[in-house]
């Protein structure tokens, strides 16, 4: 799947954000090594700290379906350009890198800003 289509899926997912406390919507779409895609949106909670980011929601769906290697993730927010993943999500993505790493696709106006997880999280934690 091309990155433009992956971003369109992330945009679709952002429309389902459950964001009643922050009003900040995020959608993400993961592409795995088996060319499967998984969407996620953020979902918040009255106990604010329990809120889950769109990226981790998408990664969780991929994992639950048996996928283990992620090639790319598109992330979108209607609230801001270049919706970079938070630090926690960077570490979660680091765990499931494909052998070629993970391309992180952001939307910058009408353009795609393509970064890599190794660039966004150098020296991630491993056990």
Residue numbers at the binding site for ligand THU (CB under 6 A):
19, 22, 24, 26, 42, 44, 51, 53-55, 85-86, 89
- Active site (annotated) includes residue 55: yes
- The minimum distance between CB 48 and ligand THU, in angstroms, equals 9
> Of the listed 8, 55, 67, 95, which one is catalytic?
55
DSSP states of the chain as a string? Answer: --HHHHHHHHHHHHTT-B-TTT----EEEEEETTS-EEEEE-B--SSGGG-B-HHHHHHHHHHHTT---EEEEEEEBTTBSS-PPPHHHHHHHHHTBBTTB-EEEEEETTEEEEEEHHHHSTT----
Name the residue nearer to ligand THU (CB basis): 37 or 85.
Answer: 85
- The minimum distance between CB 89 and ligand THU, in angstroms, equals 5
Which residues are designated catalytic? 55
């Amino acid at each position: 799947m091309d990155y433009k289509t992956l971003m369109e899926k992330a945009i679709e997912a952002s429309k389902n954000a459950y964001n009643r406390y922050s009003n900040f919507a995020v959608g993400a779409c993961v592409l795995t090594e088996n060319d499967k895609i998984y969407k996620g949106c953020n979902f918040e909670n009255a106990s604010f700290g329990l809120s889950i980011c769109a990226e981790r929601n998408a990664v969780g769906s991929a994992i639950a379906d048996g996928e283990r290697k992620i090639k790319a993730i598109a992330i979108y927010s209607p609230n801001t350009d270049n919706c970079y993943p938070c630090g926690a999500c960077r570490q979660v993505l680091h765990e499931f890198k494909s052998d070629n790493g993970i391309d992180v696709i952001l939307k910058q106006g009408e353009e795609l800003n393509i970064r890599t997880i190794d660039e966004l999280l150098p020296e991630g934690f491993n056990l």
